[in-house]
Copies of this chain bind each other. A is one copy, B any other.
Amino acid sequence: MIKVFGHKAPDTDSTGAPIIWAWYLNEVKGTPAQPVLLGAPNTEAAFVVAHWGLDMPEIISGVEAGAPVVIVDTNNPAELPEGINAADITAIIDHHKLVGGLETKGPIDITIRPLACTATIMHDLIGDDLARAPRGIKGAMLSCILSDTLEFRSPTTTAHDKAVCEKLAADLGVDIGELAAAMFEAKSDVSAFSDAELLRMDSKEYTVDGTALRVSVLETTAPKLVLDRKDSLMASMVDVAREDGADQVLLFVVDILNEEATLLVPNDLVKKIAEASFGCTVAGDTVVLPGIMSRKKQIIPALKV
């Protein structure tokens, strides 16, 4: 049985893409496969699984040496279980930059494309066999693309992602605006999470000019729900940074509907980073960055310490 999984702290793409690919392996290729998660899915991913009537994948804590796995939506060992290189990696499907560090025992199928969403790549790889997919699989694909593109608002969106998404919506008779609104509302319900959980929910580590930054993004249609907690979030950053071996946590609250991000500014280091990176002037403990939606395309390339 091949285990198919995405990255730790699973979002909609890292939850839906394993479900899609395990369906393809089981039903089209005749290869027994099981979608699994490397942690609890976020609230949007949980909504998507329930909305399309899918089974929530089991959460696993690690992989055994020699176990056959397919990795989707990442190629970064830091986002995968320890000892991933001891597993039998049989395929990788991803849309992130090549980080280096994953190794395979033999030649395998690796497909990385500069698209917004893993599910879009899977759509292309599955090809005509997608006609055999049940409604839930097509729905998961549709939801993954809406999630990763923020309903086509993110600058990572390509014309191909949009075209595939619109084709799926037409096929399923789904109103894209309604589905996206319901997904983003689910993602915006952060009431159940502690400050530390919010800071780690969608977070990646980068070292910029020698400074280890944990760059966290919260995409929401209700930024007020997060920003009302800014004092305790900023207090929690100190502990999260220390526990995770980072010098600083940066929290960008992305307002999906207004297409802007608010960066929390707890200290002079973040003030300096914000002004150097985004050409803004910080006066206070938050700064609004108009048009900033994508960590991959806009935040990481801009960061200066």
Contacts and interface: CB of A to CB of B under 8 A. Distances in A.
A95 interface: yes
Contact of A99 (B96, B103, B108, B296): B103
> Within the oligomer, what is the number of copies of this chain?
2
Interface stretch (A110-118, A166-174, A224-232, A260-268): A110-118
A76 to B, nearest CB: 11
A98 interface: yes
Contacts of A101: 100
Contacts of A111: 110-112
A110 B97 CA distance: 10
B106 A97 contact: yes
Contacts of A110: 98, 110-113
Contacts of A97: 103-108
A92 B100 CA distance: 13
Nearest to A89: B98
Interface string A248-274: 000000000000000000000000000
A58 interface: no
A107 B113 contact: yes
A67 interface: no
A103 to B, nearest CB: 4
B109 A104 contact: no
A98 B96 CA distance: 16
Interface string A274-286: 0000000000000
A113 B106 contact: no
B103 A108 contact: no
Interface in A40-62: none
A86 interface: no
Contacts of A100: 100-103
Contacts of A99: 103
Interface string A64-98: 00000000000000000000000001001001111
Q: Which of A102, A106, A107, A108 is the most central at the interface, judged by chain B CB atoms within 10 Å of its CB?
A: A107
Which 3 pairs across A and B sit closest by C-beta, in order of nearness? A110-B112, A107-B114, A98-B104
